[in-house]
Each structure stands twice: as structure tokens, then as C-alpha cells.
Amino acid sequence: MSLFERVATAPISWGVCEVPGWGHQLSVERVLGEMRSLGFTHSELGSIGWLPTDPVGLAEVLSASGVELLAGFVPLVLHDARESARAEAAAVEAAELLAAAGANFFNTSPVITWDWAARRELSEREWDRLFDGLDMVDEICTDLGLNQVVHEHVGTAVETDDDVRRLLDSTSVSLVLDTAHLALGGFDPLEFATTHSSRVGLVHLKDMRDDLAKAFGDSQRSDNPMTLMAAVQAGLFPALGEGDLPIAEVVQTLEASGYEGWYVIEQDCAITGGLPGTGEGPLVDVNRSVTYLQYACDLDGSAE
């Protein structure tokens, strides 16, 4: 299977996000149709509720569009013993939906609270509970034929360089190598690809502007921190190849290491102006990202 048979995308690349005020939310029909027009055969689930949340309805929509489901992002509170029953129930519900729809991956995001309170340092006991929680999710996923991958992410319990290294040192879980979220947390994504390729279960390709990342990071230490939404709306994550991250080098390093898994163009964006016309909007940026991968990486001879 060539590289471009292993490249998927995600609704967030079309600005689909559940956060209030994020921007225009395009219709399911338009987004899935534009994905197919660019050649994508697989997508992640996206924000809960945008696609149907019942297995039958989800399967019908995906079948009609010709887009298959690859993965789903699942926030879970795993470090708090008081939330263990709710976390397990939420994990089972999400896993059953993903499995019924034919997904491969369960992207666990260990959040601080269900409503995404800001990251804080966990105690040693909380870390141990988080690790136990990941074991619980792993059992659920294994029973349903899914692969758990832990998604480091700004604003969660696994955000910083230290958080990621603790996870690597204390567990055997596979991770989502999200180029931009690793970089925002202080972990060089190319270093991750070079030294921890065996722990990569899924790759999210997202470029990032260093100037906006610095402004975002500096603001987190101020009395008026910038939200991730505001940073995205300002253009934090441009099309692949138009930011400052070594996207091609990450892909080439992983391929050289023997990685045979999936890449997801997950270029978080927000539609804050008028509703884009046909052939306009996020479609254009995602197409530029696809072109960048074809010609900067050239791993299947596309540029010949």
C-alpha cells in the first residue's frame, strides 16, 4: 500500500468543531463530498453530533458518501477515581459506535474535567490512576477490535514534553504523533519520529506558525490567556508546507523506520468570514496540503 493510500483527513480540516463560536459549521454532505473530490477514502469522526451518533445512521451516511471511518477522538477523565464509572461508560459507548462503523482507532484524550478545564499538574497517584484508566480503555478496545492511541493535546493532562515522556516511560501505549500539538507542548515532532517510531500508532499532520505559537504560549502565562480557538482563527495551523514544522522530514523519517500506518491531514481551521462558495474555503487549503505531501515527500513517485 502506497503512502497516499494511507492518508486520511478529518472534519476539523473543514472547520467542523463543537466549540461555541468556532466558526461556520459546514454541512455533512458538503464536507464528505469535498473529501471525496480530493481523493480521500477515510476520515476521522469529528465533533460528536456532527455525524450521526447511532451506528445505523452513521453507517448509512458514510456508505452514501463513499468515505469510511478511520478513527474517533474520545476525551475521557481517567485520573480521577470519582469519575471512573462515568469514564468507563463513556469509553464503552464511544468504542461501540466506532467499532460498529468500521473504525480502526480509538483516540484517547485524557482531559482534566469533562468540560475541558485547563491543564494542571497531576499528582503521582493521579498519574497512576490515569495509567490504570488507559489499561481499562485498552481492554474495551481489544474486545471490539479497535486500536487505542493516546492523543497528546493542548489543554489536556498529556500536553507538555514532560507529560509525553512520562507516558512513554511508564506505559506501553501507542500514541498519536500530532506534529503541532507535540510542538506546542515543547516536544520536537521530528525527535519523536526519530527516537520513538515504535510507539507511533497514528499520525496527525498539522503545520504550525512559530510566531503565533509563541504568542499563544506567552499568553498562557499572562492574566489574559489566548484560547486555542482564537489562535486557530488567527491562522495558527496553515496548510501543510506553509508553516514552520518539518512535516516532510517527519513523514520521511517514519517511512524509513518502517512505519506502515495511517496519516491524517488534520489541519484545524475556522471559517470566520462569510460562508465560502462552492470550490472555495477549507477545500482549497486541504488541496494545498495534499499537493505538498505529494511533491515534498514524493514517497510513491507522485512527482515523477
Reported as a pLDDT band with limits 50, 70 and 90, residue 18 is confident
Does residue 164 register a pLDDT over 60? yes
- pTM for the model stands at 0.95
* Neighbouring residues of 87: CB distance < 8 A, sequence distance ≥ 6: 76, 77, 78, 133, 136
* H or E element that contains 110: strand 105-110
Can you give the pLDDT at residue 28?
A: 97
pLDDT of residue 296: 83
- Opening angle at CA 55, ends 22 and 36, nearest 5: 60
CA distance 153 to 206: 12
CATH number at residue 263: 3.20.20.150
For residue 303, tell me if it sits in a domain.
no
Q: What is the pLDDT of residue 20?
A: 85
How do residues 203-229 score in pLDDT, each as one tens digit?
A: 999 999 999 999 999 998 888 889 999
Total count of residues recorded for the chain: 304
Residue 221: predicted pLDDT? 87
Q: Tens digit of pLDDT for each residue in 59-72?
A: 999 999 999 999 99
- The values of phi and psi at residue 50, to 5°, are -70, -50
Report yes or no on 205 lying in a domain: yes
Contact of 40 with 290, CB cutoff 8 Å: no
- CA–CA distance, 18 with 157 (Å, rounded to integer): 20
Of 125 and 3, which is predicted with more confidence? 125
Question: Across all residues in the chain, what is the average pLDDT?
Answer: 94
| Number of domains present in the structure of the chain | 1
Determine, yes or no, domain membership for 46: yes
Question: Among 133-137, 260-264, 269-273, which is the least confidently predicted range?
Answer: 269-273
- Which residues on adjacent β-strands are paired with residue 176? 151, 202
User: For residue 270, which of 231, 244, 240 has the smallest C-alpha distance?
Assistant: 231
Question: Is residue 302 included in any domain, yes or no?
Answer: no
Residue type, 106: F
Determine the structural domain holding residue 226 and report its residue range.
3-297
What does DSSP assign to residue 224? S
Is residue 27 included in any domain, yes or no? yes
Cell 526519530 maps to which residue?
Answer: 194
**Residue 304 in domain:** no
Confidence of residue 142 (pLDDT cuts 50, 70, 90): very high
What is the Cα–Cα distance from 207 to 244, expressed in whole angstroms? 7
3-state helix, strand, coil in the chain (%, to 5): 45, 15, 40
| 19 domain-assigned | yes
Convert the pLDDT of each residue in 83-102 to its tens digit.
Answer: 999 999 999 999 999 999 99
